Structure 1
Amino acid sequence: MLQEVVPMALAKRWTVDIFIDEQGDERRTRAEARLESQDRVGLAGIGTARRNPVDPEVPAIGDELAVSRALSDLAHQLLDAAAGDIEQHTHRRAHLRA
């Protein structure tokens, strides 16, 4: 029995670099999630967190909040880009959900 040989798909690599800036005097944390890929150029999500003055200082919590918001922002931008690509190819409005 002969088996059909299917060429292996080329693997793609997308990298997200996350940059965190803690501004202690202002009790703020800012994060930027930048997507690097051959297909997408220039997508970057931004997220911020602010500590209430009465809350204890736990920098890891600000980092987690700011990074999660930056990744969420990036995810929404990527979803919007996918919808735009679908619309360009189908000439119909795309309805995508997160």
Structure 2
Amino acid sequence: MAHTRTWRVEIDINEHDDERRTHAVARLYSGTPAPLRAEGVARRRPDDREVPEIGDELAVARALADLAHQLLEATAGDIERLTHRPSHLTS
């Protein structure tokens, strides 16, 4: 039987000009009681040009990479609970 699900990822991006830093928070809503939450940060060196899109992209990429890692860890844990054996997932 086929199942269709919709998971939603929400990403908040905040720039902190005084610190030359962009911070992203990604939340995965998959129908579980608590969403997975991941963060990513991008920092601009003082001599770098100010291009907000680059900071946004880098901070979001890092948050999504962290989110993917957490999802793999959660999956491995679920498999181990069902099989009572260590699992080794590759990306």
- Taking structure 2 as the reference length, the TM-score comes to 0.94
Partner of 1:13: 6
Gaps of 5+ in 1: 1-6
Q: Does 1:23 align with 2:26?
A: no
Q: Does 1:90 align with 2:83?
A: yes
Match of 1:70 among 63, 66, 75: 63
Aligned alpha-carbon RMSD (Å): 1.2
Query: 1:40, CA displacement in angstroms?
Result: 6.3
Percent identity of paired positions between Structure 1 and Structure 2: 59
- Taking structure 1 as the reference length, the TM-score comes to 0.88
Query: 1:41, CA displacement in angstroms?
Result: 2.3
Runs of 4+ that moved beyond 4 A = none
Give the residue type in structure 1 aligned to 2:82: H
Matched length: 91
Deviations 1:44-91 (A, max 9, x none): 110000001001000100000000000000000000000000000000
